[in-house]
């Protein structure tokens, strides 16, 4: 059990003063971001989902483009799955787009097309966790709900001089209780954004800018000279290294075979870090097999067993490196020239030069580009 210790308890400022200082600072220094110019719950929700796992600067063009394509919950609910994934292409973590799409259909069906206004109903939507629900409800509806994300947790840990792993069992709950206590009932949405903004721009993970901090007066870590070493770094998971052999089949008309994997069971994903459906984001992908030895032999036997495909002209393509969370993947692709393409139950035949423009994972896009470059003699 990781020790959790509040190093010092004395403070000179009151909660009300802290709230005023932070809200005044936010009013003067907030970054002008498109989702801050609206209280439309749909737009706030889209921005919160995009901002999970993606930096603010990277989200900006996707946010604008996605809202042009799907300007309302109803438009998103009506869209085809392929179109939604296409609008998300490049942002990664595609389960976010699938969940958005499913949630939009539920909102239209069960909530008259409006993002629900109670915490329980919001939490029942796919892809909406405690953080997202609280962020959308506080910003769009002014609900008195405090958010807790990595930025907020860091500000709390430093201000309270809390040691130990913040993600250890039970600790997150304790941080949430502090966030709840600090919440300004006057402007919950602004308060939540101010806390996150402070963590993102001043109370940063490395080299916090305490000299420019509007709330340093009541900050225990600052007073004790501990700001740089709090919160304590998490121990990194050891990376899992995988090799995947991939076949870019090609017939004489320049067409290739793509497959779509079944959605993996949650337990299988956890047990099997090499699950191909997960690696290819459950999108269209080239035939592939996890390899432990002779990649070409394993791929050849996979093609024969699965599709009855023997022979063909095999040409190795440049190996690719790809990282998905804790997995470091080496992809060994082959171009396989075949007289005809096999049929597959969950397969689809498309022109190879169309693949980079399709809603496929970035790994599949890189593989298609390697094959096309090889065919063009690059």
Considering 17, 48, 262, 328, which one is annotated as catalytic?
48
Return the number of the residue (212 or 297) whose C-beta is nearest ligand SF4: 212
Q: How far is the CB of 139 from ligand SF4 (least distance, A)?
A: 22
- What are the helix (H) ranges across the chain? 15-29, 41-51, 56-69, 73-78, 81-88, 95-110, 119-123, 130-141, 150-159, 171-182, 188-201, 220-224, 266-271, 276-279, 295-307, 362-375
Return the number of the residue (220 or 302) whose C-beta is nearest ligand SF4: 220
Which residues on adjacent β-strands are paired with residue 2? none
Cα–Cα distance, 51 to 193 (Å, whole number):
13
Q: How far is the CB of 52 from ligand SF4 (least distance, A)?
A: 23
Return the number of the residue (155 or 329) whose C-beta is nearest ligand SF4: 155
Q: How far is the CB of 214 from ligand SF4 (least distance, A)?
A: 8
Size of the site for ligand SF4 (CB under 6 A): 15
Stretch that binds ligand SF4, among 16-24, 151-159, 177-185, 280-288 (CB under 6 A): 151-159
DSSP one-letter string for 168-234: STTHHHHHHHHHHHH--TT-HHHHHHHHHHHHHHTS-SSS--GGG-TTGGG-HHHHHT-GGG-SPPP
Per CB under 6 A, 158 contacts ligand SF4: yes
Q: How far is the CB of 211 from ligand SF4 (least distance, A)?
A: 8
Return the number of the residue (142 or 218) whose C-beta is nearest ligand SF4: 218
Return the number of the residue (226 or 371) whose C-beta is nearest ligand SF4: 226
Query: Residues 219 to 258: which contact ligand SF4 by CB under 6 A?
Result: 219, 221-222, 227
Q: Which position among 44, 67, 152, 213 is part of the footprint of ligand SF4 (CB under 6 A)?
A: 213
DSSP one-letter string for 7-31: -----SS-HHHHHHHHHHHHHHH--
Q: Which position among 43, 134, 216, 282 is part of the footprint of ligand SF4 (CB under 6 A)?
A: 216
Query: Residues 50 to 79: which contact ligand SF4 by CB under 6 A?
Result: none
Q: How far is the CB of 326 from ligand SF4 (least distance, A)?
A: 29
Q: How far is the CB of 215 from ligand SF4 (least distance, A)?
A: 6
Structure tokens of 191?
A: 């308060």
Give just the sign of the alpha carbon dihedral 30, 150, 122, 58.
Answer: positive
Q: Which position among 215, 277, 283, 329 is part of the footprint of ligand SF4 (CB under 6 A)?
A: 215
Distances (CA, A) of 295 to 246, 261, 331: 9, 21, 10
Residue 17 annotated among the catalytic residues of the structure: no
56-69 vs 81-88: helix crossing angle, rounded to 10: 150
- The SS3 call for residue 56 is helix
- Is 85:94 a contact under the CB 8 Å cutoff? yes
Structure-token match 């490196």, residue found: 321
Return the number of the residue (231 or 287) whose C-beta is nearest ligand SF4: 231
Own/partner long-range contacts of 169-173 (Cβ < 8 Å, ≥24 apart): 171/2, 171/4, 172/148
Cα–Cα distance, 61 to 56 (Å, whole number):
10
Return the number of the residue (21 or 364) whose C-beta is nearest ligand SF4: 21
Per CB under 6 A, 317 contacts ligand SF4: no
Per CB under 6 A, 155 contacts ligand SF4: yes
Query: Residues 182 to 211: which contact ligand SF4 by CB under 6 A?
Result: 202-203, 208-210
Cα–Cα distance, 153 to 159 (Å, whole number):
10
Q: How far is the CB of 134 from ligand SF4 (least distance, A)?
A: 21
Residues designated catalytic: 48
Which residues bind to ligand SF4, rule: CB under 6 A? 155, 158-159, 202-203, 208-210, 213, 215-216, 219, 221-222, 227
């Amino acid at each position: 059990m990781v020790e959790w210790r509040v190093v010092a308890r004395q403070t000179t400022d009151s909660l009300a003063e802290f709230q005023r200082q932070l809200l005044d600072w936010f009013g003067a220094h907030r970054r002008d971001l498109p989702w801050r110019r609206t209280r439309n719950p749909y737009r706030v929700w889209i921005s919160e989902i995009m901002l999970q796992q993606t930096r603010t600067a990277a989200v900006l063009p996707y946010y604008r483009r996605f809202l042009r394509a799907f300007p309302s919950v109803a438009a998103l609910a009506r869209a085809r799955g392929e179109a939604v994934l296409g609008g998300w292409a490049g942002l990664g973590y595609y389960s976010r787009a699938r969940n958005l799409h499913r949630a939009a259909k539920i909102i239209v069906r069960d909530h008259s097309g409006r993002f629900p206004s109670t915490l329980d109903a919001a939490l029942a939507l796919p892809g909406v966790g405690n953080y997202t629900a609280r962020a959308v409800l506080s910003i769009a509806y002014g609900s008195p709900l405090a958010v807790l994300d990595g930025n907020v947790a860091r500000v709390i840990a430093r201000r309270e001089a809390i040691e130990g792993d913040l993600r250890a069992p039970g600790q997150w709950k304790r941080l949430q209780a502090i966030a709840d206590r600090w919440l300004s009932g006057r402007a919950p949405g602004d308060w939540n954004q101010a806390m996150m903004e402070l963590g993102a721009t001043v109370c940063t993970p490395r080299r916090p800018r305490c000299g420019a901090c509007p709330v340093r007066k009541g900050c225990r870590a600052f007073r004790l000279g501990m700001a740089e070493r709090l919160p304590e770094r998490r121990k990194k998971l050891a990376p899992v290294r995988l090799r995947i052999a991939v076949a870019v089949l090609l017939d004489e008309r320049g067409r290739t075979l793509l497959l779509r994997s079944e959605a993996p069971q949650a337990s299988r994903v956890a047990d099997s870090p090499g699950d191909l459906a997960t690696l290819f984001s459950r999108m269209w992908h080239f035939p592939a097999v996890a390899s432990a030895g002779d990649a070409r032999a394993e791929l050849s036997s996979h093609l024969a067993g699965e599709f009855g495909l023997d022979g063909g002209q095999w040409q190795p393509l440049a190996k690719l490196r790809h990282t998905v969370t804790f997995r470091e993947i080496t992809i060994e692709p082959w171009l396989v020239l075949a007289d005809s393409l096999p049929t597959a139950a969950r397969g689809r035949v498309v022109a190879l030069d169309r693949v980079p423009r399709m809603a496929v994972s970035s790994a599949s896009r890189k593989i298609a580009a390697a094959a096309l470059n090889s065919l063009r003699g690059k």
